[in-house]
Amino acid sequence: MRLSLRFILPLGVALAVIAYAVVPLFDRLALQWFVRDLDDRSAIVARGLNDRLVDLLRAPSRTRIVGLIEQAVRQERVFALGVCTPEGKLAYASDRYPRSLGCAPTTNATENHIVRLAEGPVHVAVTPLEGERGELGALIVMHDMSFIERRSAETRMYLVYLFAAIAGIVALITVIIAELSWRGWVAGFKALVSGAGTESDAAKSRVPELRPIEADLKSLVRDLEAERSARDESQTSWGPDALRRILREDLKGDEILIVSNREPYLHVRREDNVIEIQRPASGLVTALEPVMRACSGTWIAHGAGSADRDAVDQYDRVMVPPDKPSYRIRRVWLTREEEQGYYYGFANEGLWPLCHIAHARPVFRVEDWEHYKTVNQRFADVVVDEARSEDPIVLVQDYHFALAPRMIRDRLPLATIITFWHIPWPNPEVFGILPWREEVLEGMLGSSILGFHTQFHCNNFFDTVDRFLEARVNRETYTITHGGEPTEVRRYPISIEWPPAALARQASIEECRRRVRERLNLAPDALLGVGVDRLDYTKGILERFLAVERMLELKPQWIGRFSFLQVAAPSRSSLDEYQNLEHRVRAAALRINNRFGRPGYLPIVLQIEHHTAEQVYELYRAAELCYVSSLHDGMNLVAKEFVAARDDEQGVLILSQFTGAARELVEALIVNPYDIQQCAVALDAALSMHPEEQRARMRSMRHLVQEFNVYRWAGRMLIDAARMRHRRRVLSRARSTRLAPTGTHG
């Protein structure tokens, strides 16, 4: 019934509006028809009386003239008649003629010649009386019009009945069709989601309207089923136990290897010669470290810490985390030239600006490319070295290793290789400028599964492969087949652990607020905004400062009351682009502070230095708002960390629309970071937001991050890996009995 109402109510309203507009129009038209009719009738009456009246007026006899008029009134069913002299005096008139109007009855008439009398409306026509020698005066004919009002009221009523009848009939037809279609859709939908019956049963119940979403629906159902079965029964949400269960039950304890450039723990020798363990500022590490803690296994990464070599064993391995060792890092050593060419050069001066729309021009050098290939091969060899089986699960991370999947596949054909691309993927036009585009794509298609944060990036990848490779791109099954080997291309939005480990060691919100304000020399009631990033040109730090400046211009009441703390971890600082950025960021902060600062008050506090996770969480908890203004970002985990840190359900997140996170955290204040005015308004809105609204928004975002946490991200990939491995085993068994179609890798 509610579905029918959804059709009927708008229909009823639309028809009522049409009726409301049409009835007065119809009234007006009917009146015009009647008036035209009365004009004609008046002319006929005047023509009929003209000659006799002209004769009588030559030898006027009041009795005969009045008699003629009264007779005409009766016979012609007119209301009244009057005869006027050429001088405009009423000479003769029938009984009911309103004498007060004299010979100018139309003075107060409407445009339709209607005059309102005490008896009701009358139509008036004035016709000259013409004799042989010219005009002898005028004949005034009046028709009663009250019947028109009666008819008009009746017509209105019939019109309303007509519209009601039309509405009823149309509504009935609509409801019947809607109900029938709905039943068809529901049946089709059920057939799709249940997947029950034979393929021909399913085909019979297939509804054409559902065809565009058929593939999405099936894959969604598959994901949900897999997720549901994988979830630890004792748990209400995804956590380390759920991951362990997948490893134990779905993957039968298969080994996991991670390959990434950045290592989760660096051993750094301080100036006082003490070795310190650092966690790098890296979204990748933030996400994968808790997964690795749950899964154990081996993490293969570049040993970049100054004391890394001192911490490893003879096989270049070290157990971590330091306080509770549960997995190992296998460090790979690079020469200075290799690091320069592969990491700084090809990865960060080439692929990084290529994949981000941040208007920095990519640089491609042949020598960088050579180093990139060499280092990818080195890591692939280490994977083979570390693998204890012929079919490990290898999680290849990011744009540093586009070639490694193919290289690993060549040496371990049965491995399940899941490559995750942590940054955006551009459209084919942009990607097309890469001199080694085919090699990069072919390298990536060595993966069994290729993951991106958003469907948009997956689609860009499909388009790119379509444009540059001889490959079969199947967008219904999200599969690309190149050289006979399929790669599933899927969306896996990354997240953070829930609850975050760094939160467990935090003081209360009040205490965090107090400590941070004290440390920054802010008044206890000062309002604080916070930005946490690597110092990278994609993060929009300059635009962020400009927005703060504009906000202080627009709303001077915040001067002296609001400060913005920007924490920026130094990153890739040997590159010119990053050094320039640092100069510009420092200069902008200085300029704004000179403009609005005063003794004891800085609008912008800039800290370009490394912060631990605990320090960052304390800042999140102490701030009124967190501002993420990336010009382009695959996901951005700072946004999710801020949400996770606010167990008081307070604080406002301002989030760039160009982050993957903006597709999930829709309750944030979503902004275009290039639109400085809009961002300034958002800052003001955040500072003025009522606590109840903050709570409602924050609660909903927290729910989402809790539910879609990093265990779920990793779990979904591992479940897909398990499904592939299971299928491969079934197919290879079938092949050995000569039953199978062509196989699949992974």
Binding site for ligand F6P (CB under 6 A): 261-262, 282-284, 398, 422-423, 571-572, 634
Of residues 320 and 637, the one with the C-beta less far from ligand F6P: 637
Least Cβ distance, residue 598 to ligand F6P (angstroms): 37
Least Cβ distance, residue 538 to ligand F6P (angstroms): 8
State how far the Cα of 122 lies from the Cα of 636, in Å rounded to an integer. 80
Burial of 320 (0-12, 13-18, 19+ CB in 10 A): buried
Of residues 123 and 453, the one with the C-beta less far from ligand F6P: 453
Number of Cβ atoms within 10 Å of the Cβ of 376: 24
Q: Is the peptide bond prior to 121 cis by the omega test (within 30 degrees of 0)?
A: no
Burial of 175 (0-12, 13-18, 19+ CB in 10 A): middle
Of residues 495 and 593, the one with the C-beta less far from ligand F6P: 495
Using DSSP's 3-state secondary structure scheme, residue 629 falls into coil
Least Cβ distance, residue 570 to ligand F6P (angstroms): 9
Q: Give kind and range of the element (H or E) at residue 671.
A: strand 669-671
Least Cβ distance, residue 347 to ligand F6P (angstroms): 8
Least Cβ distance, residue 301 to ligand F6P (angstroms): 10
Of residues 284 and 645, the one with the C-beta less far from ligand F6P: 284
Nearest to 396 by CA among 382, 233, 388: 382
Of residues 517 and 610, the one with the C-beta less far from ligand F6P: 610
DSSP state of 646: -
- Residue carrying structure tokens 């021909």: 200
Hey, which bits of 484-542 come out as E strands?
Answer: 485-491, 527-534
State how far the Cα of 428 lies from the Cα of 741, in Å rounded to an integer. 33
Give the DSSP per-residue string, 41-53.
HHHHHHHHHHHHH
Least Cβ distance, residue 629 to ligand F6P (angstroms): 15
Least Cβ distance, residue 283 to ligand F6P (angstroms): 4
Least Cβ distance, residue 533 to ligand F6P (angstroms): 10
- 183's CB contacts (< 8 A; 6+ apart) are none
Farthest CA pair distance, the chain: 145
Least Cβ distance, residue 304 to ligand F6P (angstroms): 9
State how far the Cα of 419 lies from the Cα of 409, in Å rounded to an integer. 12
Of residues 123 and 422, the one with the C-beta less far from ligand F6P: 422
Least Cβ distance, residue 571 to ligand F6P (angstroms): 5
DSSP state of 108: G
Number of Cβ atoms within 10 Å of the Cβ of 647: 14
Least Cβ distance, residue 569 to ligand F6P (angstroms): 8
Hey, which bits of 352-441 come out as E strands?
Answer: 393-397, 416-420
Least Cβ distance, residue 681 to ligand F6P (angstroms): 29
Give the DSSP per-residue string, 158-171.
HHHHHHHHHHHHHH
Of residues 368 and 624, the one with the C-beta less far from ligand F6P: 368
Of residues 90 and 320, the one with the C-beta less far from ligand F6P: 320
Of residues 260 and 694, the one with the C-beta less far from ligand F6P: 260
Using DSSP's 3-state secondary structure scheme, residue 276 falls into strand
Compute the half-sphere exposure of residue 604: CA atoms within 13 Å on the CB side of its CA: 29
Least Cβ distance, residue 580 to ligand F6P (angstroms): 17
- 415's CB contacts (< 8 A; 6+ apart) are 383, 387, 390, 391, 392, 393, 394, 408, 409, 448, 746
Of residues 279 and 422, the one with the C-beta less far from ligand F6P: 422
Least Cβ distance, residue 577 to ligand F6P (angstroms): 13
State how far the Cα of 223 lies from the Cα of 237, in Å rounded to an integer. 16
Beta bridge partners of 257: 298, 394
Query: In the structure encoding, which two tokens stand for residue 677, read together?
Result: 């005015």
Q: Give kind and range of the element (H or E) at residue 509.
A: helix 509-519
Of residues 254 and 398, the one with the C-beta less far from ligand F6P: 398
Of residues 42 and 630, the one with the C-beta less far from ligand F6P: 630
Query: In the structure encoding, which two tokens stand for residue 494, read together?
Result: 């990354």
Contact 395, 287 (CB under 8 A): no
Of residues 113 and 279, the one with the C-beta less far from ligand F6P: 279
Beta bridge partners of 567: 532, 607
R_g of the chain computed on alpha carbons: 42
Least Cβ distance, residue 493 to ligand F6P (angstroms): 14
Q: Give residue number: closest CB to ligand F6P.
A: 284
Residues in the chain: 746
Nearest to 539 by CA among 636, 424, 630: 630
Of residues 282 and 593, the one with the C-beta less far from ligand F6P: 282
Of residues 369 and 578, the one with the C-beta less far from ligand F6P: 578
